[in-house]
Every structure is written in C-alpha cells, then in structure tokens.
Amino acid sequence: MNEKNASIFGLGILEGTSAFVTGGGTGIGFGIAKTLGALGANVTIASRRQEVLDKACAELSEAGVRALGIVCDVRDHGSVKRAVDQSVEKFGGLDILVNNAAGNFACPTEDLSPNGWRTVVDIDLNGTFNCCHAAFPHLSKSPHVGRIVSIITAYAWGGWPGCAPAAAAKAGIQSLMRTLAIEWAPKNIISNTVAPGPIADTEGTKRIHEDTDRAAAELARVPVGRFGEVEEIAAAVAYLVSPAARYVNGTDLVVDGGRQFKATPRPDAK
C-alpha cells in the first residue's frame, strides 16, 4: 500500500476479516490483495498459474500479510468451490469477495470466433457468478457484513469497440451486482462494483491500448491527463469493504479520472 492510501485508512480497519481475490496474483488484483492485507485482512488469491501465486504470496508474506494462494479456474464452479472452501478452512470464515479475474483481447467483432466470445464471457461473467455462488454461504455469516466487489469498467455502458465480449460481460456483471444488492442484502451481503479507467503498468492497458498503438489517443480522453495507478483502484475497493461503507449497496464506484464522459472513438480514429 502506498503512502497516500495509508494516510486515509486506519491500518487495522480490516483486522479479523478474510478476503478472497480472484486474479489476485497480478496487476490490479495484486494491488487489491496488498492493500486489503496491509489493512489487516487475511488474503486468499486465486488464479490459474501456480508460479504466479507463489511469487505473489511470497511478496505478501514478506509484507506481513497472512496470504494463501490457490490454483483455480473461475470458469469451473467445482474448482471455485474447492478454493473458497480451502480458504475458509484456513482462515475460519470469509468476509470479502473481490471478483477481479478477467480475460480480454482486442479483436474486431466481425473477426471474433464464437469460442473467442464464449471464452471472455465465461471468465468474466460466468466466473463472477461462480465465485458469488460459492462464497454465499460464508459471506452471509460474516460478522462484518459480507462484501462483494466486482471489478468492471465504464466501457461496459460507454461502448467498447474491439472488445465486445468484455463490454457485454462487464455489463452483465454490473447487472448481477445490482440484483444481488437487492436479493442478498437481507441475507447479510452487500454488493458493489469498482469501474477503473485505463490503469498504468497493467496487462489490460498493454493489450487494449499499448499493443494496439492507441495509448496516446486514450490518454487524450482522460480529463485528469494521466492513466490511473493500481493503488487508486485498491483504495476504492478498500473503502467499499471497510466499516465506513456498510450502507453502500448496489452502486458503481467509477475510478477513471473522468474518462467515462469522453466518447469512445470509432476504431479507425487515432
């Protein structure tokens, strides 16, 4: 956690809680894991590559975080359930689920194969359902009020040329969070989303903006004039899972420097 975040959040505010962060070994997910851990949470990170999880867990442990890495494919409900159950067994409960795992690539929609479409929707949308479903019995018992935070993006409602499956999947996740906000709040779980704009030094920005030679064009559409930082997304998640946000339910916290108010250009515009 960087100094700016530490100056806002009391370091012990998540003491006694356990968090499960999908895709928590890299990029934004790892930033979230570090911040929640620094605030006192036990942290489980879950994704497909053991070596990535090992490296991330070593770094978390070195920072004093009680961390567990579990190999899991969010597309497989059985794999998710085993991972959640293992996390609960280790830490004695589950209070926070962060649905961060995602797949995405830039491809004109007319060139996309049906399997390309299915793959992204399966990871993002079906994966989020699988995690919420497997976590439900544990989150509903949380003495801190169970929290679900799903990472989406404002491109879901602003349009995302070249990333149709991710846009559709993220819109689906937003809808799922709103439904759960109503359906599960009486069952002790509140649900929200965080919608990052373009975040520097991440796989997402590399694939979608840098590899496609559109980073400068994207930057020009961010009113604050820079890409975001991983820690700025982690801070938004920390707020939503903190005691301060117990009455925040079913909302989207957009952290994009105002990017959502600039139209996404036609794919042929530079």
Residues labelled as active-site residues: 155
Report d(CA 140, CA 165) in Å as an integer.
31
* Cβ neighbours around 77 below 10 Å, total: 16
* Cβ neighbours around 11 below 10 Å, total: 11
> Closer to ligand NAP at the Cβ: 44 or 153?
153
Residue 26 binding: pick among ligand NAP, ligand HXC, none (C-beta 5-8 Å cut-off by kind): ligand NAP
Residue 259 binding: pick among ligand HXC, ligand NAP, none (C-beta 5-8 Å cut-off by kind): none
Q: CA torsion angle for 252, 187, 46, 114 (degrees, to 10)?
A: -60
**DSSP per-residue letters across 205-261:** HIIIIITTT-HHHHHTT-TTSS-B-HHHHHHHHHHHHSGGGTT--S-EEEESTTGGG
> Which of 79, 104, 192, 193 touches ligand HXC by CB under 6 A?
104
Cα→Cα distances 19→58, 120, 172, 243, Å:
17, 24, 23, 14
Select the span of 19-27, 60-68, 213-221, 245-253 touching ligand NAP (CB under 6 A).
19-27
Report d(CA 265, CA 270) in Å as an integer.
8
For residues 140-159, which are near ligand NAP according to CB under 6 A? 151, 153
Contact call for residue 116 and ligand HXC (CB under 6 A) = yes
Residue 52 binding: pick among ligand HXC, ligand NAP, none (C-beta 5-8 Å cut-off by kind): ligand NAP
> Which of 17, 18, 26, 260 touches ligand NAP by CB under 6 A?
26
Catalog residues that contact ligand HXC under the rule CB under 6 A: 102-105, 107, 113, 115-116, 119-120, 153, 166, 198, 203-205, 207-208
Catalog residues that contact ligand NAP under the rule CB under 6 A: 22-23, 25-29, 47-49, 52, 72-75, 100-103, 123, 151, 153, 196, 198-199, 202-205
